[in-house]
Structure formats: structure tokens, C-alpha cells
């Protein structure tokens, strides 16, 4: 009797599986093989081992962690050393078709097809995991080819090649990316100067006292800061560069690294008629204005929030995988502090939105700062920990527990 029951249950499950497979004439197509694209594919495979998956990427399809790009010199790793897996390994582990060197030219929403280098590819569901582009500063001068940015593994490889045998790097931007690379390049033996138009580092993330701690930590490594001025132009100067600031001051260096922020990639979605804001607009289920198309990661504007960090991306990938495999699941963002990789003065911050009413309470001892942002009613809305305070897990946990969710 028990054997017959088990056999019947197996028959039902197998029939349902075969029905689902027969209904899936077209794959889930994911555009992008960065953290967003590959992690979504991994989450889907945890839930469904057979749903056909196609990932399209214009690069070579290696798996790597983008946040680790600003740790390469500290870890003494080149681009190959930062790669975690090659494309063949990813194809095998994901049981997916991963097509490299593939650029999506257009989306036909009516036919549910993509135009990819002259080929038409059909999709059942489409996920835009397009990432973000770096801001390109508008500079005068003839030294533009010596102004580099690092936004992916190929960029990192190009930078390392260009920086080989160089001594001095000038970084444009003293935000998160600029500070992380200032620390990493200093650890790699380079002289580093940072140009930041605002009067302090990490101005959009930290209160002034915490910014001061980070700047002090980096200065102790030899980093020189030029606050309150922007870069006007870059000129070739022998094998190096000459950088002109807005106050007329000129800095000599070997290479310029531009680190002034990221802009979500929206052009493909925009050309397809999808609704875009700061990023590709989605609801809490990561659905765009087309019910068959989703957006994830740095390109996504989820319910009005663009969060260019890893933890929101991972939470969104888990929720979207459930939705794509049949269980409609809204994404939830609990409080998710950001860890800034500046070992000269470590930082953990839960940023406060601009214009939020409240005040910072500061407890500081040298570079060890605890800053808590409180609303007028005393509620904790954000915090920043630097130095030894950032390394205290109990203190961090206590503050996180007091924060409201980002998306509840």
C-alpha cells in the first residue's frame, strides 16, 4: 500500500515536471553575467534544475566579484587572479547556455524576441541585469586616453597594464570608489593624490567627523587630497599627465583614474519603450512596465530605489528566482549597511537619505568614530562606524536592529 502511494506521488510529480518542461518552449534569458546575472541563475537552479536558461554577455563570461576590483593590489592579484570561474565552468555548474561576445541590439516586446548580432532569440521571460556605466568626466586637454576607469574585469586588466612601471596615480573623486582605490593603490606601492570637489571624502555617505577619520587613515598611507576643486583638464606630459584643477593648480602624475560614480544602464530598456527613471523602473516583484521583462542589480530602479550595492542585489536575486519559477515573491530589503573597503580606516555605514530630518550623535576617539543619525523622535535612521568601531560586531548588530527596513 505504501509503495503504491509513493509510486502515485512520483507519477504526479513527474507528470507535473514534464508538463512544465513541455510548456517551456523558450528560455528565461538573462542579459548580463555580472554578480546580478550569475547569482540569479544560481538561485533559479536551486529551485528548478531544468528550466532552460540562456545568459548573454558582451564580455568573456568569467565569473568575478565586482567589489573585489578595488582590492587587487592589496591582494597582489591581477585580473586572472580575481576571476573565480571561467565561462565553461559556469555553463556546467548552471546547466545553462552562456553566450559570450554577444551584444543585444534590440528587444521586440510584441514578438518576445531579442536581436543579438543579427540573430533573433525568443524568450519566455527576460531579465535585464545590465549593470551600470561609470560617469565620464567632461575634460579639456589631449590626455583623455590616459584617464581610465575600472568598472569590470577587463577595465581592471587594462588599468594594471597601463599602470605597470608607473609611480603616481591621480584619482578623480573621493567617494566610495575613489577612497577604496586610493587605499588599494597605496598598498600597491603607488603615490596617490585624490581630487574631490566637496571639502571631504565620502560626503554623500558619512557625517563630517567620520569623513575626517577616513581621510586621516588614508593620509597616513601617504595619500594627498585636493579638496574643494574639480578637474578641468588633463594633458599629456611626456609619458605621464598634467592635471589642471578648477583653481588653476596643476598636478603632475603618470596616470589618472576616474572614480566619480555610476549611472544605471537604461538605453536598451528605453529604446524598447520600457519605463525608466534613475534606472529601469520595476515594482516590488522586479517586473518592469512589461510583465514579461524584469530588471535586477545596478540597472534596476526598484520601487523608486536604486541601490548600487551587493546585499540588495542578492536579496533581489533570491526573490526574483522564486517569481520566475512560479512563486510570485516581492523583494524585501531589510536594513543593509555598506562595508567600505578602506583598511587604513575601515567603515561600515547605513546611509541616510538626503533631506531626512534629524541630527547626528557623534562619539569619537581619533579615527574610531561612532555616528548615529536620529530622527526628531529619537528613532535611529542611519549610522556610521569607522576604525575600531567598525570592527565591533556587537555594536554594529545593535544598531542594525534599531534601523527600519529599506523596503519592508
Distance separating alpha carbons of residues 29 and 361, to the nearest angstrom: 48
* Position 60 pLDDT exceeds 60: yes
DSSP label of 286: -
Distance separating alpha carbons of residues 406 and 291, to the nearest angstrom: 24
* Position 157 pLDDT exceeds 90: yes
* Position 15 pLDDT exceeds 80: no
C-alpha grid cell, residue 310? 551587493
Q: Which CATH architecture has domain 136-260?
A: 3-Layer(bba) Sandwich (3.50)
Kindly list the strands in the beta sheet with 104-108, ordered across the sheet, starting from the edge strand earlier in the chain. 104-108, 113-116, 119-122
Contacts of 288 (CB under 8 A, 6+ apart): 128, 269, 274, 275, 280, 281, 282, 294, 295
Distance separating alpha carbons of residues 87 and 256, to the nearest angstrom: 31
Kindly list the strands in the beta sheet with 250-253, ordered across the sheet, starting from the edge strand earlier in the chain. 231-237, 240-245, 250-253
Distance separating alpha carbons of residues 168 and 190, to the nearest angstrom: 6
Question: Fold for domain 2-133+263-324?
Answer: FAD/NAD(P)-binding domain (3.50.50)
Which of 370, 386, 380, 373 has the alpha carbon at shortest distance from 400?
Answer: 380
pLDDT score recorded for residue 408: 83
pLDDT score recorded for residue 129: 98
Residue 9 main-chain phi, psi, to 5 deg:
-65, -40
216-260 tens-digit pLDDT: 999 999 999 999 999 999 999 999 999 999 999 999 999 999 999
Residue 54 main-chain phi, psi, to 5 deg:
-130, 125
pLDDT score recorded for residue 25: 81
* Position 186 pLDDT exceeds 90: yes
pLDDT score recorded for residue 8: 54
Q: Count of CB atoms within 10 A of residue 249's CB?
A: 12
The number of angstroms, rounded, from the C-alpha of 157 to the middle of its chain's C-alpha atoms is: 18
Delimiting residues of CATH 3.50.50.60 domain(s) in the chain: 2-133+263-324, 136-260
- The arithmetic mean of pLDDT across residues 289-311, rounded, is 97
Q: Count of CB atoms within 10 A of residue 27's CB?
A: 19
DSSP label of 345: S
Question: Fold for domain 346-402?
Answer: Enolase-like; domain 1 (3.30.390)
Delimiting residues of CATH 3.30.390.120 domain(s) in the chain: 346-402
The number of angstroms, rounded, from the C-alpha of 151 to the middle of its chain's C-alpha atoms is: 9
C-alpha grid cell, residue 137? 568626466
When computed from its CA atoms, the radius of gyration of the chain, rounded to whole angstroms, is 24
Distance separating alpha carbons of residues 365 and 387, to the nearest angstrom: 10
Q: Are 373 and 352 in contact (CB under 8 A)?
A: yes
* Position 201 pLDDT exceeds 90: yes
How many residues are recorded in the chain?
Answer: 408
Which of 53, 66, 40, 67 has the alpha carbon at shortest distance from 338?
Answer: 67
Confidence of residue 162 (pLDDT cuts 50, 70, 90): very high
pLDDT score recorded for residue 309: 94
* 385 beta partners: 348, 370
> Taking all residues of the chain, what is their mean pLDDT, rounded to a whole number?
94
Dihedral of alpha carbons 96, 104, 263, 168, sign? positive
pLDDT score recorded for residue 17: 47
pLDDT score recorded for residue 130: 98
C-alpha grid cell, residue 218? 588614508
Q: Are 170 and 193 in contact (CB under 8 A)?
A: yes
**What's the angle, vertex CA 177, arms to CA 188 and CA 247, rounded to 5?**
95
pLDDT score recorded for residue 320: 98
Pairing relationship of beta strands 300-302 and 280-282 according to DSSP bridges: parallel
pLDDT above 90 covers a percentage of the chain that reads 92
* Position 3 pLDDT exceeds 60: no
Confidence of residue 19 (pLDDT cuts 50, 70, 90): very low
117-139 tens-digit pLDDT: 999 999 999 999 999 999 999 99
pLDDT score recorded for residue 9: 54
Amino acid at each position: 500500500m505504501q509503495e503504491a502511494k509513493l509510486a502515485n506521488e512520483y507519477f504526479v510529480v513527474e507528470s507535473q515536471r514534464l508538463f512544465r518542461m513541455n510548456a517551456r518552449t523558450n528560455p528565461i534569458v538573462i542579459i548580463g553575467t555580472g554578480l546580478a546575472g550569475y547569482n540569479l541563475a544560481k538561485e533559479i537552479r536551486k529551485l528548478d534544475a531544468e528550466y532552460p536558461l540562456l545568459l548573454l554577455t558582451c564580455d568573456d563570461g568569467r565569473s568575478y566579484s565586482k567589489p573585489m576590483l578595488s582590492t587587487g593590489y592589496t591582494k597582489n592579484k591581477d585580473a586572472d587572479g580575481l576571476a573565480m570561474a571561467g565561462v565553461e565552468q559556469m555553463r556546467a555548474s548552471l546547466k545553462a547556455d552562456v553566450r559570450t561576445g554577444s551584444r543585444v541590439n534590440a528587444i521586440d516586446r510584441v514578438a518576445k524576441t531579442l536581436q543579438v548580432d543579427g540573430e533573433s532569440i525568443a524568450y519566455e521571460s527576460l531579465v535585464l541585469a545590465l549593470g551600470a556605466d561609470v560617469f565620464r568626466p567632461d575634460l579639456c586637454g589631449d590626455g583623455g586616453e590616459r584617464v581610465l576607469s575600472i568598472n569590470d574585469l577587463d577595465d581592471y586588466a587594462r588599468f594594471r597594464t597601463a599602470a605597470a612601471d608607473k609611480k603616481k596615480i591621480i584619482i578623480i573623486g573621493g567617494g566610495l570608489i575613489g577612497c577604496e582605490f586610493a587605499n588599494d593603490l597605496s598598498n600597491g606601492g603607488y603615490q596617490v593624490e585624490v581630487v574631490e570637489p566637496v571639502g571631504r571624502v565620502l560626503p554623500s555617505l558619512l557625517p563630517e567627523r567620520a569623513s575626517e577619520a577616513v581621510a586621516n587613515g588614508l593620509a597616513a598611507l601617504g595619500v594627498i587630497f585636493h579638496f574643494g576643486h574639480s578637474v578641468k583638464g588633463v594633458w599629456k606630459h611626456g609619458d605621464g599627465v598634467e592635471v589642471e584643477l578648477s583653481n588653476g593648480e596643476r598636478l603632475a602624475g603618470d596616470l589618472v583614474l576616474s572614480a566619480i560614480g555610476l549611472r544605471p544602464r537604461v538605453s536598451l530598456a528605453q529604446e524598447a519603450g520600457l519605463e525608466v527613471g534613475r534606472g529601469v523602473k520595476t515594482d516590488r516583484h522586479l517586473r518592469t512596465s512589461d510583465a514579461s521583462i524584469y530588471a535586477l542589480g545596478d540597472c534596476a530602479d526598484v520601487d523608486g530605489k536604486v541601490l548600487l550595492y551587493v546585499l540588495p542585489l542578492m536579496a533581489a536575486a533570491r526573490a526574483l528566482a522564486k517569481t520566475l519559477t512560479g512563486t510570485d515573491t516581492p523583494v524585501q530589503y531589510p536594513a543593509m549597511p555598506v562595508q567600505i573597503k578602506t583598511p587604513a580606516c575601515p567603515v561600515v555605514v547605513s546611509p541616510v537619505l538626503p533631506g531626512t530630518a534629524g541630527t547626528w550623535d557623534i562619539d569619537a576617539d581619533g579615527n574610531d568614530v561612532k555616528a548615529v543619525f536620529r530622527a526628531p523622535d529619537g528613532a535611529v535612521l542611519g549610522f556610521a562606524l569607522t576604525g575600531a568601531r567598525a570592527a565591533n560586531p556587537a555594536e554594529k548588530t545593535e544598531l542594525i536592529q534599531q534601523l527600519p527596513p529599506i523596503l519592508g
